[in-house]
Structure 1
Amino acid sequence: MDRRQSRRKKGLLRLRQPIPDRVFTTAGLVVPVVLVLLWFAVTALGLVKPLFLPSPLAILEEAWRQISTGILFEDAAVSSYRIIVGWLSAAVLAIPVGILMGNFRLFEGALEPLISTVRYMPIVALIPLTILWAGIGDEQKILILFLGTFFQMTLMVMDNVKNIDVNLIRAGQTLGFSNTEILWRIILPAALPAIWDTCRITIGWTWTYLVVAELVAAQSGLGRRIMDAQRYLATDTIIFGTLFIGLLGLLTDYAFKRTGRSLFRWTADR
């Protein structure tokens, strides 16, 4: 019996080996629960002043206040709209550009130096320019989200396409396929699972740019609520807003994962 138990324990730590779903789910819950308990203990013992770290109960009270007054849902709706439009705008342009760069050296040579340079520019530094270009309305916020996502997504899609086995392309050429046929019948089906993962990752990045996008002249939004709370040292509002943005990002990530498993079942074991 002891040997069986030891084998099971070792099996949980074997490289790239599947584990029971129950264990997988439990492991994902244990760490957050432990952190919350430590957080509660630190604040209950008075080791940190509430100004710097409010208790979990204070965060729950702030959450209930925003829910009961309707502020939370209003801010979430506005921010989600900006996220969706900003990310979709970037994806609609970045995916075809990335595919072209991944398949044609001419496009890669012409665009990669520029895109690689711009993607290292700090988005915050572009806020004055975006205000000049798009004003202070939703267009400016969406433009910030677009700029924060487009350049990274383009290069990632390019790499997704370039990582396809070249023998597949050569097989298509041997069969007499044209470039268009190779693109639609070989390259895109092979690259779509990786491109979908790229979309999942980049929409997560878009959520991280939300506070920056709503930094200037925003009347509502989750990021704006956090920036207003900073002025009044409302730490509970800041922490709750940050956690709620993380929760929305997690739900988005989960939706992409579930959809990806349904669309690309043959990649389930990867």
Structure 2
Amino acid sequence: MSTVDELPPAARARETRGRADWPELPRHPARRARAGWLAPRREISPAARWTLRALSLLVPLAVWVALSTSGRVDPTFLPTPAATWDAWWEMARSGELWTDTAASVRRVLLGFGLALLISVPLGFAMGTWRWALAALEPIIGLVRYWPAGAFIPLLIIWLGLGESSKLAVLVIGVVFFNTLMVAEAVRRVPQRLLEASMTLGATPGVLVRKVIFPYALPGIIDAARVNSAAAWNLVVIAELFAATSGLGYRIVRSGRFLQTDRIFAVLIVIGVIGILMDVGLRLLRDRIGRWTP
């Protein structure tokens, strides 16, 4: 089929005049997209934000109260909030709650801190240099799928029943995941930023110290925030075996006597401590990386 430009001049003129007589196409008014609740990253007012935060706590609490006081669930399996408070107060008054909390917090700080000391340099190297990524990613990608709890019998054989085996569980369970997350945070440094710095005369050492590390530091702290929750899960698992103190030990001991009110009280304590750690790391991240979104 020939186009208009391929037609003879006379036929081309008739075609052009015929098109000029065509009616104008209908025009539809432009519709503005509605920024509803489903709009991605839509800003909400401070009042709405705090209302939703309050509901996220009050709704589960209301469900808990309704189920535990309805009489349909045996209090042995689901204690009431009042019974849980009484159990918390009893443990706090006797001092065993503070002893167990101090033991678990100390283990988390030591084990999680040691995992950070190992994983941050490894992850930073993997994200910065291709040779480090090629050398470390295969083995770390393999070992991270091994459950940390599966190492407990070996750690008891190797390190005994003392604190070393418990700290080793935390390190094994956190270090590999945190390494990969730190590497990903470092890889997000824009290549254009590195090229601009090199154009201005930055040496490799200057790039690492003054460009890559400052840019990736907020992401490194975010990785620590995520894995701090894993550290608390692991410390409870570690305290299930041959421990004489700790919140995990208190859960096991209470479970032997069907003291579910004490178990709930300990779980709430762990959640509160975890939230405090998360808020502290978030404030540190916001203070250090004010320029980040």
Q: Same fold (TM over 0.5)?
A: yes
Give the partner amino acid of 1:260.
Answer: R
In the other structure, the counterpart of 1:47 is 72
User: 1:7: which partner in 2?
Assistant: none
Kindly report which structure 2 residues correspond to 1:201-216, keeping only aligned pairs within 5 A, or say none.
201-216=226-241
Matched, 1:178 2:223: no
RMSD between superposed Cα atoms in Å: 1.7
Asked whether 1:138 is paired with 2:177, we answer no
Partner of 2:285: 260
Question: 2: CA distance between counterparts of 1:114 and 1:231?
Answer: 40
1:87-130 CA-partner distances (Å, limit 9, x unpaired): 11010111111011111111111111111111111111100111
1:217 to 226, 242, 249: 242
Does 2:134 match 1:109?
yes
Equivalent in the alignment of 2:61: 36
What 5-or-longer segments of structure 1 have no aligned partner?
Answer: 1-9
Mapping of residues 29-178 of structure 1, within 5 Å: 29-178=54-203
Distance 1:64 1:187 in 2: 49
Letter in 2 for 1:63: W
Larger Rg: 2
Deviation string, structure 1 residues 63-100 (Cα, Å, up to 9, x no partner): 11111111111111110000001111010111111011
Instruction: Give the structure with the higher percent helix.
Output: 1
Tell me the percent identity.
37
In the comparison of the two structures, how many residue pairs are matched? Answer: 260
Superposition deviation, residue 22 in structure 1: 3.0
Provide TM-score, normalisation by structure 2: 0.84
Tell me the amino acid that sits aligned with residue 28 of structure 1: R
After TM superposition, the score normalised by the length of structure 1 is 0.91
Deviation at 1:177, TM superposition (A): 2.3
Structure 2 residue runs of 5 or longer lacking an equivalent are: 1-34
Output the CA distance in 2 between the equivalents of 1:26 and 1:133. Answer: 51
| SS of aligned partner of 1:220 | coil
Offset at 1:256?
1.0
Partner of 2:257: 232
Q: For residues 158 and 202 of structure 2, what CA distance do their matches in structure 1 show?
A: 45
CA distances 1:202-237 after superposition (whole Å, capped 9, x unpaired): 112111212111121111000110111222222112
